[in-house]
């Protein structure tokens, strides 16, 4: 498994590289955003670890550039800025997960394995529910034949709903399966993204599909 680490602090990048290589990963390092984008374009990686504060091109701009070029490698952001607004901004441009500095290395490894595992499973046949269709390969969603443009994280949330129709999904389940988080303080961002998804999937249609189950969570159902 090949990981690209984009981190300008050489002591930090060296620490991460040595630790991941001891865990059996092959690691390539870039020291600024522009170099990171070039390496991601020219080589194949299973995961990118992206510092947010980078010279030449910051981490979020680098992620945006990669997504615009069609590069869908999972990206884990490493940052000291971990407010909800910062996370939403990152998720909206295509980040897959956030890990706040300083972090425990064991947690970094666990996040890496989870994102790589999810990426390797992110293939399969088209999924349908009611008048919604989802293509796991192209990362596209349609409702009533109309394509619904979703951000990376909105798509991941919708796919989780589509793979679990007519089932109550608690916030904890969503956090663990869509964000790989297990703590209650992440609840607010889940609610934010469910509202984003409702505005795109349900707002223009009479039949609402994403429902709040009071005191429990959310469910994708026809009534």
Segment 104-116 shows an average pLDDT of 89
Q: Is the peptide bond before 102 cis (omega within 30 degrees of 0)?
A: yes
Q: How far is 28 from 214, CA to CA, in rounded Å?
A: 47
Q: Comparing C-alpha atoms, which of 8, 6, 10, 27 is closest to residue 18?
A: 27
**According to the model, what pLDDT value does residue 56 have?**
93
Torsion-angle region of residue 56: left (phi > 0), alpha (psi -120 to 50) or beta?
left
Q: What's the confidence (pLDDT) of residue 33? A: 93
User: Hey, is 140 helix, strand or coil?
Assistant: strand
Sign of CA dihedral 8, 12, 16, 22: positive
Contact at 8 Å (CB) between 6 and 36? yes
**CB-CB contact of 54 with 6 (8 Å):** yes
The pair of structure tokens assigned to 69 is 């070029």
The sheet carrying 127-129 orders its strands as 127-129, 132-135, 140-143, 146-148
Q: Are strands 75-79 and 97-100 parallel, antiparallel or unpaired?
A: parallel
Q: Which of 31-40, 128-137, 162-171, 183-192 has the highest mean pLDDT?
A: 31-40
Q: Which domains does the chain have, with CATH numbers?
A: 2-120 (3.40.50.2300), 127-220 (1.10.10.10)
- Percent share of the chain, pLDDT over 70: 92
DSSP 8-state class, residue 93: H
Answer for the pair 158, 136: CB distance below 8 angstroms, yes or no.
no
Q: Summarize pLDDT for 168-215 with one digit per residue, the tens.
A: 998 888 887 787 665 455 568 889 999 999 999 999 999 999 999 998
């Amino acid at each position: 498994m090949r990981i690209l680490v984009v981190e300008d602090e050489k002591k930090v990048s060296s620490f991460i590289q040595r630790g991941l290589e001891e865990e059996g990963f092959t690691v390539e390092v870039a020291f600024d955003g522009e170099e990171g984008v070039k390496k991601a374009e020219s080589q194949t990686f299973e995961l990118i670890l992206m510092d947010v504060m980078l010279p030449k091109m910051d981490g979020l701009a680098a992620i945006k550039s990669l997504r615009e070029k069609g590069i869908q490698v999972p990206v884990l952001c490493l940052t000291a800025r971990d407010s909800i607004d910062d996370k939403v901004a990152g998720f909206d441009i295509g980040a897959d997960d956030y890990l706040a500095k300083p972090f425990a290395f064991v947690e970094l490894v666990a996040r890496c394995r989870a994102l790589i595992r999810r990426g390797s499973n992110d293939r399969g046949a088209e999924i349908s529910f009611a008048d919604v269709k989802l293509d796991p390969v192209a990362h596209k969603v349609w409702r009533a034949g109309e394509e619904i443009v979703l951000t990376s994280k909105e798509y991941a949330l919708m796919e989780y709903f589509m793979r679990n129709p007519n089932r109550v999904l608690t916030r904890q389940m969503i956090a663990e399966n869509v964000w790989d988080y297990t703590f209650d303080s992440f609840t607010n961002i889940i609610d934010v993204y469910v509202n984003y998804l409702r505005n795109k999937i349900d707002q223009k249609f009479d039949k609402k599909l994403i429902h709040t189950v009071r005191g429990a969570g959310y469910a994708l159902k026809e009534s």
